[in-house]
Structure 1
Amino acid sequence: MTSTAQAAPASIASDKGTYTYITVFSAVLYTVLLIAPVIAGKLIEQFALTPVQVGTLFSLELGAFSLATVPAYLWLRRMNLRTASYLFTAVVIAGNVVSGFLDDFGLLMIARVMTSLAAGSITVIILTLSGKTSNPSRAFGIFVVFQLAMGALILAVFPALFASAGVAAIYWTLAGLAVLCLLVVNRIDGEALRTAAPVSAGAGARERVPVLKAAAGLAAVLLFYVALSGVWSFIAQIPAGSGIDLSATSLVLSVATVAGILSALVATALGETPRRRLYLVAGYAGMAVSIVLLFGAPALIRFAIAAVIFKFAWTFILPYLLSTLSSLSSGGHLMNTTNLMIGTGFSIGPIVSGALIQSGGGSFTGMLIFALTGVLASCAFVLVAQRR
């Protein structure tokens, strides 16, 4: 009786510490990807880069975020997570500081890849710890909310704040933000993965990862990110055929971003729920409807409705999609692989969508059909992945 009463507060305290860790690190680590539009102009100006070179740099950074998954298979269950967090955060700080001093583009690419590998390694820890909380959907909701909130803040503040500064000032600011992350590392249980309770004979079947469900869940994540990144990368160009100017489109996308933050907050507040399957179906339905509304060069009102629903739906789906994967395994490697699926989907989506637009002579129809198919397939796979 007493041990149970003591375990509950300990669990609550552990969750709060994990939530704090997720909040700070997710807001800071994704900053460099969120401010890509701000950094791009500075890089072109300072290094006289071509658009291809800038695109290559950002692709390498995003790729490194995902490839951090591969070495994590070796260290994730062997290292103390606090030690790993301090180590990788130190690399992020050093990488950003060094990036600010470099004047050679080749060396800059190396520095950015190393920095992103370290940041991606911490993302693996975030995803794994989120799945081990008593309320994974809430943890994943926090992960999404603070990325979006920081992204909205940065895109509003950074262009004006660094208007007359070089790219070094931006990288050094990122280093300063990463220093703040060191203050919350001690909030997590460093031995969370190494001291997992041994599996008893009776619990063995439950702890064993259901391979087909896991494969379906990973496919759902991959297709989800392929579809959303493909549409979101080109969504600003879709209404151009209706004569909608860029300023109106930008305003619509700003409103959509706010809607995305609100939906992620809703998912965070709801947390883990027996209605997860229902919420997933509703979210995927909204995402599918929004894509359908984008067909045929929509006028401003239809485009605004589509963009807001699209952003609201995908940020609402994501916490429940990730918690579906975390429910399939108490270990860290499935969530580690999920991180690889996220990065792969992010990389594939824009490339395939761009090729479909180009092959269609500038028409977005092929791209939208591809995205709609991906969304529906992702929905089907995630329903297969649900535990009974």
Structure 2
Amino acid sequence: MSAIKSRDLSFGLSGMLTTCVGYTLILFMPLYLEFVGGHLSLNESQIGWLASTDAGGLALAALLFALLVKRLNFRYVVAAGCAIALIGNLLSIPINDFKLLCFIRIVTGFGEGLVVAAGITVIGMVSNPNRWFGIYTAAVVVVQGLGLIVLPGINDGFGVSGLFIFLAALFVLPFLVVSQLPSKANTELAESQVNDNDSSLSRLLLLALAGQLVFYAGIGGIWAYISLMGSEQGLAIDVVSRSLAIAMAVGALGGLAFAALGKRGDSRGLFALSIFIMMACAVGFYQFTAMSYLLILCVFSFFWSLLGARLFAVVSDADKSGKFISAAQTVLSLGYMVGPIIAAMMFERLAYHGVLMMAAISFLLCFILVLPLINKLRQADVLHRVNQANG
């Protein structure tokens, strides 16, 4: 195995494990909110705010990481983040006060964010980011599906305390691979890449990051309420959790499909079609049966994964300095934070219809904001091919 392939494998696998663990609370959010909300007798608005707490701390940590990425030792960052998240989950166990729990979850989210930011930046340092982001997205969805299967049993057997203990235990896993992480970002690559970026490309990258923000705001809004939507329309919790788990398994295929497509995954047509289908799924959640709930979830999850990998890959393709991919992680976390907050406000006015409308508009805005960067990269690729053909 060549040195580059060996390095990519080490960075890819350790980065994936680290990032997946950091994201566990976000991944398990529908059932987490249902169980904790029931335990504390929270209303729908409070549930929306609780959903934003971990994501808010995660966003803050990712932002600080992006600003300091060249100075940080990734191994120390992951170790510190795991310690904070582990302790925060254990401290959440005896809390019955909503405001105090929100504060603890923000701090816990900060630890989660350190773990995620370091892990995703390491994945962005491989030589073939399209493939690895596709595999990473599939891995995230597999973890999500497994968690949604396991969590109901933990809650039934041990209550909310068991749930927080389980979340805390997961943060032991990154310690197994922390030595495989690079200690620093590739600063030589970072400097050369920054110098090559003209101002127009930088502006397009910022627009793409804004597109990623609204995309994940839409996802976060639906994801915070997707379990409650099922319960409100008469579906039993075991039907909801099973449907979510199956949908996550299908979602893994979306990430793998993007990885298998390679450069063909850069197609503008595929991007447009995926956005349209996501919008259609948001409308489909307006009214459903148990079977249609499962079907819409599966389609939604597949294209969520495919688009998630695409959005990370387009940023990584445009700039491999580590600066923008870390910023992408920040805006993703911000999206997961502001999405449930906006959804909670929309719920107060229009109930679930407002949540779904907000999500559909977010997906459309994502398309509008990201398309210019996709077009720019396509033009650059065509010019590169012409130059090669001309010798």
| TM-score band, normalised by shorter chain | 0.7 to 0.9
1:335 corresponds to 2:328: no
Q: Which moved more, 1:321-330 or 1:340-349?
A: 340-349
Shift of 1:384: 0.7
Tell me the equivalent position of 1:309: 299
Letter in 2 for 1:85: V
Runs of 5+ in structure 2 lacking a partner? 381-391
Tell me the equivalent position of 1:124: 117
Partner of 1:189, secondary structure, is coil
Shift of 1:17: 0.8
Letter in 2 for 1:382: V
Of residues 372, 385, 388 in structure 1, which corresponds to 2:360? 372
Tell me the equivalent position of 1:325: 315
Alpha-carbon distance between aligned partners in 1 of 2:236 and 2:124, rounded to the nearest angstrom: 40
Alpha-carbon distance between aligned partners in 2 of 1:238 and 1:104, rounded to the nearest angstrom: 25
Q: Check the 8 A contact 1:136/1:271 in 2, yes or no.
A: no
Of residues 157, 171, 183 in structure 2, which corresponds to 1:178? 171
Q: 1:363 to 1:282 in 2, by over 3 A?
A: closer
Alpha-carbon distance between aligned partners in 2 of 1:234 and 1:104, rounded to the nearest angstrom: 22
Q: 1:68 to 1:301 in 2, by over 3 A?
A: same
Shift of 1:93: 3.4
Per-residue CA deviations over 1:244-300 (Å, capped at 9, x if unaligned) read 6446665544432222122222223434546443432332232233335455x3556
Q: 1:98 to 1:272 in 2, by over 3 A?
A: farther
Tell me the equivalent position of 2:84: 91
Alpha-carbon distance between aligned partners in 2 of 1:114 and 1:159, rounded to the nearest angstrom: 25
Per-residue CA deviations over 1:164-209 (Å, capped at 9, x if unaligned) read 4354444343333322211111212223334537539xx9334778
% of aligned pairs identical? Answer: 24
Of residues 243, 264, 277 in structure 1, which corresponds to 2:255? 264
Any residues of structure 2 matched to 1:347-358 within 5 Å, and which? 347-358=337-348
Letter in 1 for 2:121: T
1:210 corresponds to 2:214: no
Higher gyration radius (CA): 1
Q: Check the 8 A contact 1:14/1:188 in 2, yes or no.
A: no
Tell me the equivalent position of 1:4: none
Partner of 1:92, secondary structure, is helix
Tell me the equivalent position of 1:3: none
Q: 1:357 to 1:39 in 2, by over 3 A?
A: closer
Alpha-carbon distance between aligned partners in 1 of 2:297 and 2:198, rounded to the nearest angstrom: 40
Q: RMSD over aligned Cα, in angstroms?
A: 3.5
Per-residue CA deviations over 1:67-88 (Å, capped at 9, x if unaligned) read 1133224431112222322333
Alpha-carbon distance between aligned partners in 2 of 1:233 and 1:94, rounded to the nearest angstrom: 24
How many residue pairs align between the two structures?
373
Q: Check the 8 A contact 2:85/2:112 in 1, yes or no.
A: yes
Per-residue CA deviations over 1:41-66 (Å, capped at 9, x if unaligned) read 46865xx5645766655432221011
Q: 1:279 to 1:9 in 2, by over 3 A?
A: farther
Q: 1:274 to 1:312 in 2, by over 3 A?
A: closer
Q: Which moved more, 1:33-42 or 1:126-135?
A: 33-42
